[in-house]
Amino acid sequence: MEAAGTAPTPCVITVCHWRWVVPELRFLPDFPPSFFQPYDQNYMEKNKIKHMSFHAHLRKLNAANRNAAKNVNALPPLDEPSFAVKKNCDAGHAPYPQSMCAKCQPSAIVLQQQTYRMVDHVEFESAGIVDEFLSFWRKTGLQRLGYLYGRYERYSEVPLGVKAVVAAIYEPQQQPAVDGVELVEHEPHGKTVDELAHALGLQKVGMIYSDLHDDGSGTGKVICRRKAETFFVSSAEIIFMANAQADHPNPCRFSTSGKFGSKFITVIVSGDAEKNIHLSAYQVSNIGAAMTRDGIIDATVKANVLRVRDSTSTHYVPDVFYKYKNKYGALVQEAARPTFPVEYLLVSLTEGFPQQPRTTFRSTSIFAVENRGGLATQDMSAVRKHMDACGGDMTKALSDFHLLVYLKSSGVFSDSDWARLLSAVKSGDVKVLEKELMQNASFQTLSVILSETPATTSSSSGQPSAAAAAAPWSCRHCTFANAGSRRECDMCGLPQD
């Protein structure tokens, strides 16, 4: 019993290695007062949460084995899935493929939809970020891919949730076409862009690409191709997404390997049932990423199914099964060979925009976007026009991701001046930025260059100039993607108009 007149001691809950004071649990909105577990099934159903967050899933694993969690010598609760034959087997037999035993042979795979998400939500700081990305398709009719740069933050709508906040889109070198894009194998500026983003407190959080086809009505409506009757994500896209996730592993101290899964997300821009442009965000499940990495599955010509590979003399493929409810409501297990639905490897995320747009980059005009050919040329004339569009306000003009990427590659700034400039841009403090500009010798050099450079007559945010005529175009007869310099189709020989 507490002495009369003394303040009650706050109730402290200790679960595994985490410790909270109950009044601080504000991130669990409307959570039942008698039950504080973020993975509570009743709470998820009540609030229509389809997937629990990754950290809630981790909490659930630890809660199921509390004794092991208290043991400092206990193994971490997570282990990355692997479906390859184990190397260096200690059973005393010849190494694979000469021999294989039960210890080194991977077990059969039973597919179930993943119940948790590594990332719960994707948030674009403003609608203008997506609009500028889509302007390429609106002007050319060709598809486009870009990398999302931003940061991960707490997502309060889901207990222990995580959201990816997108501040900018970088468009790598690519060959656009009506039905997709072909990326350059080694992006020449990829490392530079990553370093620039890191200096600004950002990182590559995912990718976005378009799959848009005008319906021909002239009203801006697009064809709805992705739906339950066809597919939401094709088998080829599953492989593409899984490989991208493998290139961006998620560090995790609760995994035996020090990493688990990936927070790299994919946003697909396509048409919805009302023929409006719609954003959809996805990830491939951790099982799906591991199956792709270990050569278990392949894409097929049928978009909504994946193929299980056959074992060879040098590559063993374990049995794969998937479960589903039949017409009688009974749970049935079926062999996945030769094919199975892609939905078993797909995890959907929510997406949207904040009620109040955020401003990591303060520029009031968008500098010419990189790698767009004749639609947007990046040179000093474009820089001059961008500065003029910002009303001569250098502090706002320089706060543009595309401009910073160009200036970094131009070689105008010394390393020390560049570091000071980025630090000022990152702070967002106008007075600090102005002070840095006045003391920046490299910027003074840039000012002299711009004063002697005429502004261009077009920009990425304006109407396409005569140079845009050199942009790639697709034949309206056979849809073949032709170079902008061609007036007749290389495939069918018919004229462009």
Q: What is the pLDDT of residue 19?
A: 35
**pLDDT, tens digit, for every residue of 427-436?**
877 788 788 7
Question: Looking at the domain assignment, is residue 63 inside a domain?
Answer: no
Angle between helices 401-410 and 380-389 (to 10 degrees): 150
Question: Looking at the domain assignment, is residue 60 inside a domain?
Answer: no
Q: 65-79, 221-235, 256-270: lowest mean pLDDT where?
A: 65-79
Does one domain contain both 382 and 348?
A: no
Residue span of the structural domain in which 392 resides: 373-451
| Chosen domain end from 451, 466, 486 | 451
- E strands along 120-233, which residues? 121-124, 145-155, 161-170, 174-177, 180-183, 203-210
Task: Give the up-direction half-sphere exposure of residue 156: CA atoms within 13 A in the CB hemisphere.
Answer: 6
Q: Where are the alpha helices (DSSP H) in 173-285?
A: 190-199, 235-246
- Average of per-residue pLDDT values in the chain: 84
- Residue 170, beta-bridge partner list: 147
Average pLDDT of the segment spanning 372-386: 88
Question: Looking at the domain assignment, is residue 106 inside a domain?
Answer: no
Banded pLDDT at 310 (limits 50, 70, 90): very high
**pLDDT, tens digit, for every residue of 409-457?**
888 888 888 988 898 888 877 788 788 777 788 888 888 888 888 765 4
Q: Given the DSSP bridges, would you call strands 145-155 and 161-170 parallel, antiparallel or unpaired?
A: antiparallel
In the predicted model, is pLDDT for residue 390 greater than 60?
yes
Banded pLDDT at 49 (limits 50, 70, 90): confident
Phi/psi at 341 (5° precision): -65, 145
What CATH number does the domain containing 122 carry? 3.40.140.10
| Tokens read off for 332 | 């049935």
Q: What is the pLDDT of residue 138?
A: 93
Distance between CA atoms of residues 237 and 266, nearest Å: 10
Does one domain contain both 332 and 419?
A: no
| Tokens read off for 221 | 């409506």
Q: What is the value of pTM for the model shown?
A: 0.82
| Tokens read off for 389 | 């569009």
Does one domain contain both 319 and 391?
A: no
Does one domain contain both 259 and 405?
A: no
Cβ atoms of 127 and 182 within 8 Å: the answer is no
**pLDDT, tens digit, for every residue of 86-132?**
888 888 888 888 889 988 999 999 998 999 999 999 999 999 999 99
Does one domain contain both 284 and 396?
A: no
Does one domain contain both 282 and 386?
A: no
Question: Looking at the domain assignment, is residue 65 inside a domain?
Answer: no
Q: What is the pLDDT of residue 325?
A: 86
Does one domain contain both 339 and 392?
A: no
Does one domain contain both 290 and 201?
A: yes
Domain count, the chain: 2
Does one domain contain both 429 and 303?
A: no
Q: What is the pLDDT of residue 44?
A: 82
Q: What is the pLDDT of residue 36?
A: 56
Q: Which helix (H) or strand (E) holds 21?
A: strand 18-21
Distance between CA atoms of residues 405 and 426, nearest Å: 14
Which amino acid does the sequence have at 274?
E
Q: What is the pLDDT of residue 10?
A: 44
**pLDDT, tens digit, for every residue of 362-374?**
888 889 999 998 7
Does one domain contain both 172 and 307?
A: yes
Question: Looking at the domain assignment, is residue 391 inside a domain?
Answer: yes
End-to-end CA distance of the chain: 89
| 185: helix, strand or coil | coil
Does one domain contain both 296 and 426?
A: no
Question: Looking at the domain assignment, is residue 206 inside a domain?
Answer: yes
Cβ atoms of 350 and 123 within 8 Å: the answer is no
Question: Looking at the domain assignment, is residue 487 inside a domain?
Answer: no
